[in-house]
């Protein structure tokens, strides 16, 4: 009797539960995500020499790791003319070339014995050294980090190896359409004289000496250039004290300089449809529209607009039309650049068969036109806004991510409270805002399009979808020759 009653109760509960399950996935409802946006001031400390440090203490669960990154303003935008590639070599050799106290192999042995890593690199606008170490070995790890930061040896044999590897990379520059499109587009957008289009060549690599790395190091190592991020299992006060005893002792040397502002490009780009002939089975298509600064009041509306067009992967309009409906590509994307130091660009890209290039580009331009001419539906707008808002907490998914984000943004000059109203501003974007931003951003008269592929196949287009490449966009078609991989001079 008891067993029967129990079975009845279980069946009743199961039936009730089944009745609560919607018949369609889009009818599923979830509780609102409760997430408090981290604030930079809650993590910020100032070391004795004025260097800002962002300290993010984690709980006791998991592996007791500590991660410390020291970054600074300065990167390839400071490369001297004729020595392009200096910052990249400096960035790698800061930790790979040993220190004044430890030759490279012995430094690597010390790190391996602690199961620690010490890495370094430079980007266009920053350099950094990162340490990952068990909490019990933090003191020794910080000592090694400071040796690399303050007394890099830049061992000649390691530098020679890095230069050989760089020359090999340079020699392969024209091997694939993606690499070619990368350097060609940078010249079209920034011209020949800006660091954003500057690339190393065989000659520039040969010109770089160990003395250049030493001088670059002496120039950059100024407390006003430095920022610290630390995350992991530690006591906050103890970490600040440890950083004060190490990074906090750094002083500006006689040759140290505060890094200059990152220069904005002054090149006046020429809109057009550009074609580079490359004998390859697939064509790479890239396009660019002038974007906006992140500090622009319209930035959030621009971000939602780009997400709808091509920023959300499989649910974006470009991906649905060109991949899902037509099967012309594995992926097509649109990206709104941050616009940190100057107005960025809205960049798009796709790769497809040579003969499909004209048709695929025409479809992309059709989707752009629709976004300008037709208001988005309430449902499409809601789905995209919710996706952005609901994915927001994942951007802060670890203490390391929090500390690094705030250190990076401080270095780049962001307002400390930029994220505080982010979700509210995304939620406030309307269908009218999206259409207004589409019309503002996607001006085809200001568009730069680049197609890299086999010209004899890309130009006539696809027999199944008639239309020559030259007729796809209302822009003049111009040929841009391949560049010599060693010199980056246009080839005849």
Q: Are residues 373 and 448 in the same domain?
A: yes
With both helix axes pointing from N to C terminus, report the angle between 104-113 and 138-150 in degrees, rounded to the nearest 10.
Answer: 160
pLDDT, residue 447, reads: 98
Q: Count of alpha carbons within 13 Å of 293, Cβ hemisphere only?
A: 10
Q: Are residues 184 and 54 in the same domain?
A: yes
Q: Are residues 456 and 315 in the same domain?
A: yes
Q: Please state, as a whole number, how many other Cβ atoms lie within 10 Å of the Cβ of residue 126.
A: 23
Note the pLDDT tens digit of each residue in 279-289.
Answer: 999 999 999 99
- Residue 355 to residues 364, 365, 452, Cα–Cα distance (Å): 16, 17, 12
pTM to 2 decimal places: 0.91
Structure tokens given for 188: 């079209």
Which band of pLDDT confidence, cut at 50, 70 and 90, is reported for residue 1?
Answer: very low
SS3 169: helix
Whether the pLDDT of residue 395 is over 70: the answer is yes
Q: Are residues 218 and 329 in the same domain?
A: no
Q: Are residues 136 and 278 in the same domain?
A: no
Q: Is residue 404 part of a domain?
A: no
Q: Are residues 189 and 107 in the same domain?
A: yes
Note the pLDDT tens digit of each residue in 203-240.
Answer: 999 999 999 999 999 999 999 999 999 999 999 999 99
Note the pLDDT tens digit of each residue in 234-277.
Answer: 999 999 999 999 999 999 999 999 999 999 999 999 999 999 99
Residue where a domain stops, chosen among 249, 284, 319: 249
Whether the pLDDT of residue 55 is over 50: the answer is yes
Mean residue pLDDT of the chain comes to 94
Rounded to the nearest 10°, the torsion over CA 71, 152, 111, 133 is: -20
What is the pairing mode between strands 272-277 and 477-479?
parallel
- How far apart are alpha carbons 84 and 89 in whole angstroms? 10
Q: What is the CATH number of the domain that holds 386?
A: 3.30.830.10
Q: Are residues 245 and 277 in the same domain?
A: no
- How far apart are alpha carbons 79 and 183 in whole angstroms? 17
Of 347, 139, 358, 155, nearest to 246 by C-alpha is: 139
pLDDT, residue 21, reads: 76
Q: Are residues 355 and 281 in the same domain?
A: yes
Q: Are residues 237 and 283 in the same domain?
A: no
Q: Are residues 100 and 193 in the same domain?
A: yes
Residue 149's Cα: distance from chain center in Å? Answer: 25
Query: 143 is in which domain, residue-wise?
Result: 40-249
pLDDT, residue 3, reads: 52
Structure tokens given for 285: 């298509």
pLDDT, residue 27, reads: 72
What residues contact 347, with CB distance under 8 A and at least 6 apart? 286, 287, 288, 334, 335, 337
Note the pLDDT tens digit of each residue in 415-435.
Answer: 999 999 999 999 999 999 999
More confident residue, 385 or 25: 385
Question: What is the total count of domains within the chain?
Answer: 2
Contact status, residue 458 vs residue 357, Cβ threshold 8 Å = yes
Q: Are residues 58 and 146 in the same domain?
A: yes
pLDDT, residue 18, reads: 52
* pLDDT > 90 in the chain, percent: 90
Contact status, residue 380 vs residue 316, Cβ threshold 8 Å = no
With both helix axes pointing from N to C terminus, report the angle between 431-441 and 357-373 in degrees, rounded to the nearest 10.
Answer: 130
Which band of pLDDT confidence, cut at 50, 70 and 90, is reported for residue 466?
Answer: confident
- How far apart are alpha carbons 52 and 70 in whole angstroms? 10
Q: Is residue 276 part of a domain?
A: yes
Note the pLDDT tens digit of each residue in 341-384.
Answer: 999 999 999 999 999 999 999 999 999 999 999 999 999 999 99
Q: Is residue 201 part of a domain?
A: yes
- How far apart are alpha carbons 392 and 73 in whole angstroms? 27
Q: What value does the mean pLDDT take over residues 42-46?
A: 98
Q: What value does the mean pLDDT take over residues 157-165?
A: 98
- How far apart are alpha carbons 467 and 362 in whole angstroms? 9
């Amino acid at each position: 009797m008891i067993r029967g009653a129990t079975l009845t109760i279980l069946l009743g509960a199961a039936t009730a539960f089944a009745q609560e399950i919607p018949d369609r996935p889009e009818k599923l409802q979830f509780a609102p995500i409760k997430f408090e946006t981290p604030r930079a001031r809650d993590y910020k400390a100032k070391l004795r020499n004025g260097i800002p440090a962002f300290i993010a203490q984690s709980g006791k669960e998991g592996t007791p790791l500590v991660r410390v990154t020291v970054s600074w303003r300065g990167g390839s935008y400071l490369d001297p003319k004729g020595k392009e590639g200096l910052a990249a070599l400096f960035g790698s050799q800061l930790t790979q070339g040993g220190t004044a106290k430890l030759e490279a192999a012995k430094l690597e042995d010390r790190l391996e014995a602690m199961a620690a890593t010490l890495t370094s690199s430079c980007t266009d606008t920053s350099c950094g050294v990162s340490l990952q170490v068990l909490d019990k070995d933090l003191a020794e790890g910080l000592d090694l980090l400071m040796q690399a930061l303050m007394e890099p040896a830049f061992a000649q044999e390691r530098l020679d190896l890095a230069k050989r590897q760089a020359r090999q990379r340079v020699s392969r520059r024209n091997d694939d359409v993606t690499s070619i499109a990368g350097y060609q587009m940078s010249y079209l957008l920034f011209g020949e004289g800006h660091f954003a289009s500057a690339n190393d060549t065989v000659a520039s690599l040969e010109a770089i000496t160990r003395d250049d790395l030493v001088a670059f190091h002496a120039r950059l190592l100024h407390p006003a250039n430095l920022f610290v991020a630390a995350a992991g299992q530690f006591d906050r006060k103890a970490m600040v004290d440890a950083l004060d005893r190490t990074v906090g002792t750094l002083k500006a040397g006689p040759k140290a300089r505060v890094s200059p502002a990152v220069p904005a490009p002054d090149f006046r780009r020429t809109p057009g449809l550009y074609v580079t002939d490359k004998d390859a089975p697939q064509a790479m298509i890239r396009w660019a529209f002038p974007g906006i600064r992140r500090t622009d009041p319209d930035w959030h509306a621009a971000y939602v607009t780009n997400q709808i067009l091509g920023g959300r992967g499989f649910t974006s309009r470009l991906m649905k039309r060109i991949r899902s409906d037509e099967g012309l590509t594995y992926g097509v994307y649109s990206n709104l650049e941050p616009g940190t130091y100057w107005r960025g660009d809205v960049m798009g890209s796709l790769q497809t068969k040579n003969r499909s290039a004209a048709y695929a580009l025409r479809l992309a331009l059709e989707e752009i036109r629709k976004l300008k001419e037709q208001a988005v539906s309430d449902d499409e707008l809601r789905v995209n806004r919710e996706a952005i808002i609901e994915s927001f907490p994942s951007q802060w998914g670890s203490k390391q991510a929090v500390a690094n984000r705030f250190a990076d943004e401080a270095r780049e000059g962001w307002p400390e409270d930029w994220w505080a109203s982010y979700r509210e501003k995304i939620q406030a974007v309307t269908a009218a805002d999206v259409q207004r931003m589409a019309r503002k951003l996607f001006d085809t008269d200001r568009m730069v399009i680049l197609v890299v592929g086999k010209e004899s196949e890309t130009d006539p287009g696809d027999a199944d979808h008639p239309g020559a490449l030259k007729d796809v966009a209302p822009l003049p078609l111009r040929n841009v020759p391949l560049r010599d991989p060693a010199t980056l001079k246009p080839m005849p």
